[in-house]
Structure 1
Amino acid sequence: MAVEVVMPKLGMSMKEGTVSVWNKQAGDPVKKGELIASINSEKIEMELESPADGTILDIVVPEGEGVPPGTVICYIGEANESISKIEKNIETAQTEVAATATKLKEPQPSVQTAAKEKIKISPVARKMAEAANLDIRTIQGTGPGGRITKEDVQKAIANSSSVESPSSKEQKPTETFTHNIEPTKKVPVAGIRKIIAERMQGSLQNSAQLTLNMKADVTDLIALQKQITETAQIHYETKLTVTDFVARAVVLSLQQHKEMNSAYINDQIHLFDSIHLGMAVALDKGLVVPVIRNAENQSLIQLAQNIKSLAKRARQGQLSQEEMKGSTFTISNLGAYGIEHFTPILNPPEAGILGVGATYDTPVYIGDKLERRTILPLSLTFDHRVLDGAPAAAFLRTLKQYLEEPFTVLL
């Protein structure tokens, strides 16, 4: 008998999951425990393993489509096994549940709603049609009894996309340039990429962002780091990095400049005593920001341990949604890529984000003497609705002082 593979629930608050990639196609053989797909919900992504040996009989949910947890996304069974009866029973049950829920919410449905419910259509097909703004009454069903299937909706979407009115062409001037260029590949914006796109666009549209740049001389800091690295490794099993020192210096600076540890919410400036430090982590498919809570109560070693632990779990896809919410200030480090100054985008609704660049050596006059010094570029983006340039610059100056007098970070 065919085995149902369902959309897993990746978190308590998960309402919808998306199949980002299918590693197998219908007709492919699979072994129990073999990776068959990648699943994501907001910023959580995981790889889905086959629950049994067999053959992929049918893929119900295509790549890029979101469905509620518990929804059947594919079937695995014996080669040439029929699943039409199983699928029909499941979809009928889902339709009945959906109809019952609608009746409970709307005791007196309108004539239009009643007519819509009489149309035979699978839940997946209905969801696809609604997402594409298609009138299901105009779609010809090819399933049993004239039932509309997901293939019917896909065909209707393709047909509607090929018909374009003159007015729509005027609204999309970029198509004049690209309509004769055949793309190598079309990648749907979904999962983590979609969440990042929406948040970053919203961040720029809904805040007044300004970036200040400054350079800190971290020659002494790096010397201190090298001196205590072995001790930290022996006693705490932790390797201290420049990022750890920067994180600690940021926390100390935020305690002195509380207006930077704030958020603009509903036309109010929310100031926070607790510092929940977000540390941006780059993944293959996007960027996540795990949060170190109450960072003001943590020593340099504790911060370093938490930074490394969260980064490791982020790369392994083991973070919960709660561990990526509630930050009050964020640090983004592109030094590993050789970038010096850059313009980080605010992580809404935070008032500030610090960009850390790559260190470089340069000759600097110390008094009348020219010395080789190591410089760390810093880029602070802040919300001008929350604070002005002078207090933002004061925060950056305080941060510079902590980094250039690294022993103060240890006190």
Structure 2
Amino acid sequence: MAVEVVMPKLGMAMKEGTVSIWNKGVGDPVEKGEPIASVSSEKIEIDVESPAEGTVLKIAVPEGEGVPPGTVICYIGLPGEEVAAALAVEEDQKPEVENATSVNEQTEPITSVRTARNRVKISPVARKIAEAANLTIENIKGTGPGGRITKEDVEAAIKNSASPQAEEKKETFETHVKPLEETQQIPVSGIRKVIARRMYDSLQKTAQLTINMKADVTDLMALQKQIAQTVQNHYDQKLTVTDFIARAVVLSLQKHGEMNSAYLDDKIHLFKSVHLGMAVALEKGLVVPVIRDADKCSLIDLSRNIKTIAQKARQAQLNLEEMQGSTFTISNLGSYGVEHFTPVLNPPETGILGVGAVYDTPTYIGENLERRSILPLSLTFDHRVLDGAPAAAFLQTVKQYLEEPITMLL
């Protein structure tokens, strides 16, 4: 009996997952545990592995289509079951074909073409270009992984077409895209598409407000240098400003529990533990790995965990557990020279702290003018959960910890 492969649930708030790419086509053999597709959701893109050895009988969800978790995306079975699966597909399509035409002879060719197309591995962008140029995709040789037809393959097929009819089609196609000749078109897919949709939804479905504050971290910088050698000798660890900021945020969230929350199903969920998300910029986009139970970590433990998850993120070694369940997020753009910015909420969280670059400026301390190191902070919060005053109180507490860093060691 055919085995169903379903869209996995990748997070508590996940409502839809998207098939980014199929690695296998209908009729292809698969081994148990072999990646057959990539699916993406709110925070992550992962490979879906085959639950059994067999053959891909049917692909139920095409690339680029989003479906709820638990939806069957394909069927795996024995090679002998393929005929039954094909007949089932044909029966499903038959009423549609009969309604579309009164000529019975056309039913079989249309079904055959559709079935053949399902077996051709081609990227969505390549398919669109091929259709616009009136090319038959079955005649195009794919050079991508597993014989997949790429955009470059289609463009090469258009260029190498020698017949007058093909040249006419080519001219029509080039005329069609001529206004865009000087642009570079980058398909939005995979994690970039997930981020785009997620950030758009965040701004559309939450009441976001950002407040700014500056913390004097002169004493913190001095403390960091003072204990650097001791920390290195005893823990083989280097404490960074980011580590202290994370510690200050965790301690502040314990004092201001309303910020350590999520807005779900018209209810505010207050979390007892702090699961800290740390935004990490990658070549393909932004990911937010999570340090679970950060409130139970010492400063040294927190520092070690931050470095570990950042390294795993850059090496694409994060597992699903490390990518979901955050209750508050920190986004640091200081290394890029950015001061204040407006971070966008990571739904369904209530708050996200944007951290800018430390800069030196002359500041009056009493009657004396001194050189001080200033750290810009930007807090975006969901106004549906709390108002400006409690949000400002939280940010003020973060500021106090950073300006009195010794309190984070006690």
TM-score (norm 2): 0.66
Give matches, 1:161-310, under 5 Å. Answer: 180-310=179-309
Q: Hey, what does 1:18 align to over in structure 2?
A: 21
State the alpha-carbon separation in 1 of the partners of residues 235 and 309 from structure 2.
17
Give matches, 1:10-409, under 5 Å. Answer: 16-18=19-21, 41-42=39-40, 43-44=44-45, 96=83, 98-99=85-86, 111-112=95-96, 118-120=111-113, 121-122=115-116, 123-124=118-119, 180-409=179-408
Query: CA 1:274 to 1:101, structure 2 compared with 1: closer, same or farther past 3 Å?
Result: farther
Letter in structure 1 aligned against 2:218:
T
Letter in structure 2 aligned against 1:272:
F
State the alpha-carbon separation in 2 of the partners of residues 205 and 359 from structure 1.
32
Deviation at 1:215, TM superposition (A): 0.1
Percent identical pairs in the alignment equals 57
Query: CA 1:180 to 1:189, structure 2 compared with 1: closer, same or farther past 3 Å?
Result: same
Matched-pair contact (CA < 8 Å) for 1:41–1:192: no
Letter in structure 2 aligned against 1:183:
E
Deviation at 1:12, TM superposition (A): 9.6
State the alpha-carbon separation in 1 of the partners of residues 135 and 359 from structure 2.
65
State the alpha-carbon separation in 2 of the partners of residues 208 and 305 from structure 1.
34
Letter in structure 1 aligned against 2:329:
T
Deviation at 1:142, TM superposition (A): 8.1
Matched-pair contact (CA < 8 Å) for 1:40–1:192: no
State the alpha-carbon separation in 2 of the partners of residues 97 and 213 from structure 1.
63
State the alpha-carbon separation in 2 of the partners of residues 232 and 18 from structure 1.
46
Query: CA 1:143 to 1:409, structure 2 compared with 1: closer, same or farther past 3 Å?
Result: closer
State the alpha-carbon separation in 2 of the partners of residues 101 and 364 from structure 1.
77
Letter in structure 2 aligned against 1:111:
P
Deviation at 1:200, TM superposition (A): 0.6
Letter in structure 2 aligned against 1:364:
T
Query: CA 1:345 to 1:101, structure 2 compared with 1: closer, same or farther past 3 Å?
Result: farther
State the alpha-carbon separation in 1 of the partners of residues 357 and 191 from structure 2.
27
Query: CA 1:181 to 1:245, structure 2 compared with 1: closer, same or farther past 3 Å?
Result: same
State the alpha-carbon separation in 2 of the partners of residues 210 and 204 from structure 1.
10
Q: Deviations over 1:131-151 (max 9, x none)?
A: 999xx9xx997869xxxx989
Q: Hey, what does 2:68 align to over in structure 1?
A: none
Letter in structure 2 aligned against 1:18:
I
Deviation at 1:119, TM superposition (A): 3.5
State the alpha-carbon separation in 2 of the partners of residues 113 and 261 from structure 1.
55
State the alpha-carbon separation in 2 of the partners of residues 127 and 310 from structure 1.
35
Letter in structure 2 aligned against 1:200:
M
Matched-pair contact (CA < 8 Å) for 1:276–1:292: yes
Letter in structure 1 aligned against 2:249:
V
Query: CA 1:41 to 1:222, structure 2 compared with 1: closer, same or farther past 3 Å?
Result: farther
Q: Deviations over 1:83-106 (max 9, x none)?
A: xxxxxxx9x989647547769xx9
Matched-pair contact (CA < 8 Å) for 1:280–1:289: yes
Q: Deviations over 1:354-409 (max 9, x none)?
A: 00000001111111111111000000000111111111101000110111010111
Matched-pair contact (CA < 8 Å) for 2:228–2:238: yes
State the alpha-carbon separation in 1 of the partners of residues 328 and 253 from structure 2.
9
Q: For structure 1, which runs of at least 5 residues remain unmatched after alignment?
A: 1-10, 21-38, 47-63, 72-89, 164-174
Deviation at 1:45, TM superposition (A): 7.5
Q: Deviations over 1:269-300 (max 9, x none)?
A: 11111111000001111111000001111010
Aligned residues: 317
Letter in structure 1 aligned against 2:298:
S
Q: For structure 2, which runs of at least 5 residues remain unmatched after alignment?
A: 1-7, 11-16, 24-36, 48-61, 66-71, 99-106, 140-147, 159-168
State the alpha-carbon separation in 2 of the partners of residues 96 and 190 from structure 1.
33
State the alpha-carbon separation in 1 of the partners of residues 299 and 406 from structure 2.
11
Matched-pair contact (CA < 8 Å) for 2:127–2:137: no
Q: Deviations over 1:301-342 (max 9, x none)?
A: 000000000000100111112211110100000000000000
Deviation at 1:192, TM superposition (A): 1.3
Q: Deviations over 1:160-206 (max 9, x none)?
A: xx89xxxxxxxxxxx9xx97342342211111111111111111111
Query: CA 1:95 to 1:341, structure 2 compared with 1: closer, same or farther past 3 Å?
Result: farther
Deviation at 1:41, TM superposition (A): 4.5
Q: Hey, what does 1:167 align to over in structure 2?
A: none
Letter in structure 1 aligned against 2:184:
K
Matched-pair contact (CA < 8 Å) for 1:44–1:317: no
SS of residue paired to 1:180: helix
